[in-house]
Structures are given as structure tokens and as C-alpha cells.
């Protein structure tokens, strides 16, 4: 089971979720259902740099997308951004974002290899840049 830590910045309604260890679809679904509906988040950043996604398959991705879609009314135009620095994880995130874009029109869904790339995107969107919560080692530079 994955270890999932979440950090909510009430100043700008940003939710950062850090996932480490072997993750299963249920880990993501539970986190989505809990945080997306309750926090009022207007930007979600998933940091998967320390995650192991080898247990996730295509059917699992669809289950995760369904949970996110069900919570979409709570954050209709809020961006969801993913960071994955390993080639396998980044590839899975790209596949997920491509599929998710077809069902969630109007809300940006993007995947990045590191925090620097994510911050470039945020700057282009005229949003405040972010950093990985300081309580954790930055393995995603």
C-alpha cells in the first residue's frame, strides 16, 4: 500500500499530494474522493516521484478517472497537474492525462517530469509557482 501525504494551502486553495511506495488504484480513488470534495481545492498537484505504479493497469486508470470525473463538479475548471520523474511513471501519467482530457473539458490536466517543468507551466498560466513540501527530500528535481 502506498504512503500518501497531502498538504493544503488555504491561501491559494492548492492541494499537493505526495505518493510513495507501491500504489494501487484504490489508493488514488480514496484520496480523490476525500480531498477533491472536501478541500475546495482549485489546483491539485500529484507528486509521484517516489511512487511505484507497476501494480496499476489500464482498467485501474479508468477507475481512477471515473473517481476524478465524479468529483469534477466540485472543481470544474481547476487544473490537475502530475509529476513523475521515472520514464515508466511519466509515460503512465501522459497516457492518463490524454485519456482524462477527453472526459474533463475545460480543466487543464498536465504531466511533467519535475517541479521545474511544472513551475514553467504555472508561470505561463500566470499562476503562482510551487515547491515540493519542505518536509520531504526533493527527489523530483
Residue 141 has pLDDT above 70, yes or no: no
The SS3 assignment for 48 reads strand
CATH number at residue 70: 3.30.750.24
Establish if 10 belongs to a structural domain. Answer: yes
Domain of 25 in residue numbering reads as 3-124
Q: What is the CA radius of gyration of the chain?
A: 14
pLDDT computed for residue 137 by the predictor: 42
Distance of CA 125 to the CA centre of its chain: 17
141: in domain: no
CB 23 within 8 A of CB 56: yes
Q: What's the full length of the chain, in residues?
A: 141
Mean pLDDT, rounded, for 68-83: 86
Number of structural domains in the chain: 1
Which pTM was predicted?
Answer: 0.90
Q: Kindly report the CA angle at 31 between 8 and 9, in degrees rounded to 5?
A: 5
- The verdict on residue 92 lying in a domain is yes
Residue 56: inside a domain:
yes
Residue appearing with cell numbers 517543468: 117
> Is residue 36 included in any domain, yes or no?
yes
**What are the cell numbers at 83?**
509529476
Mean pLDDT is lowest, of 30-39, 43-52, 55-64, for: 30-39
pLDDT given at position 134: 65
Is 52 part of a structural domain of the chain? yes
Give the chain's end-to-end CA distance (angstroms, integer). Answer: 25
Nearest CA-CA partner of 13 in 47, 34, 45, 40: 40
Q: Are 44 and 9 in contact (CB under 8 A)?
A: no
For residue 91, being part of any structural domain is answered with yes
Amino acid at each position: 500500500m502506498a504512503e500518501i501525504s497531502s498538504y493544503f494551502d488555504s491561501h491559494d486553495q492548492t492541494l499537493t499530494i505526495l505518493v510513495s511506495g507501491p500504489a494501487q488504484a484504490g489508493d488514488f480513488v480514496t484520496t480523490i474522493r476525500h480531498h477533491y470534495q472536501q478541500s475546495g481545492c482549485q489546483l491539485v498537484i500529484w507528486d509521484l516521484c517516489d511512487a511505484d505504479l507497476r501494480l496499476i493497469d489500464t482498467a485501474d486508470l479508468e477507475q481512477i478517472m471515473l473517481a476524478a470525473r465524479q468529483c469534477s463538479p466540485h472543481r470544474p475548471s481547476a487544473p490537475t497537474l502530475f509529476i513523475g520523474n521515472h520514464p515508466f511513471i511519466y509515460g503512465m501519467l501522459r497516457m492518463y492525462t490524454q485519456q482524462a482530457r477527453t472526459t474533463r473539458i475545460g480543466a487543464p490536466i498536465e504531466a511533467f517530469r519535475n517541479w521545474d517543468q511544472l513551475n514553467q507551466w504555472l508561470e505561463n498560466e500566470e499562476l503562482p509557482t510551487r515547491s515540493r513540501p519542505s518536509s520531504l527530500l526533493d527527489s523530483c528535481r
